[in-house]
Amino acid sequence: MSNSATFKVKIEKLPRHVAIIMDGNGRWAKLHGRPRIHGHQKGVERAREACEVALELGITVLSLYAFSTENWSRPPGEVEFLMALLEEYLTKELPIMMDKEIRLHPIGRLKDLPVTTQKKVKEAMEATKGNARLTLNLALNYGGRAELVDAFKDMAKLLKEGKLSPHDIEEATVNRFLYTKAQPFPDLLIRTSGELRISNFLLWQTAYTELYFTSTLWPDFDRSEFIKALLEYQKRERRFGGLGY
């Protein structure tokens, strides 16, 4: 698909929030006869390109699943490389995030990341907190179930302190304790690499999210592939449990 497809996108029907499960880096590297780390490096380039497309079209929130709570089971050398790659990415991209007004909002159990990685993440988060053009949710040591457990623990603490009543707990209450509080829920969830599951990503938030699955591996998910997903989204009729007529 050529870049001219961009002009077919209806700006008034764009999703406000797009979430992406960036899958397939390892398989891409294997197909090209390269080490897995090369696939991760290529994947970083696609993450940058996804941000560019979001900025160009006016999408206001982009959530990228970078490292899950389950990813710690990977070989130690690969995990170390991923953390180093993240630190390098944040260092290089910070000036761009400032120039493009991108706010970095990491989501996940950040306290379990290596100390040096935590430092880089917090520095970038603090530096970009005033930016308002695009919010980039970077999921690091993230799990949807873990997010809900953390939310319930925080609510339980307030209940114990008498600052929250059981009668006051509604869906909106839970929303306030999520990592993504105050953000719109994802309108579109994209998963690359041909897998047909959401892998513990934004479980609460994606209750009515439109799902888009593609066999394209993440390192090949370029601008045209992103536009293709958006065009497919714009064909959907979102009823949220109601009638469409």
Partners of residue 68 on adjacent β-strands: 142
Q: Which residues are catalytic?
A: 23, 71
Alpha-carbon distance of 24 to 215, in angstroms, equals: 9
DSSP state of 216: S
Q: Which residue has 């079209």 as its token pair?
A: 57
- String of b and e for 29-65 (b: at least 16 CB within 10 Å)? beeeeeebbbbbbbbbebbeebbebbbebebbbbbbb
Q: How do 61-68 and 102-107 pair as beta strands?
A: unpaired
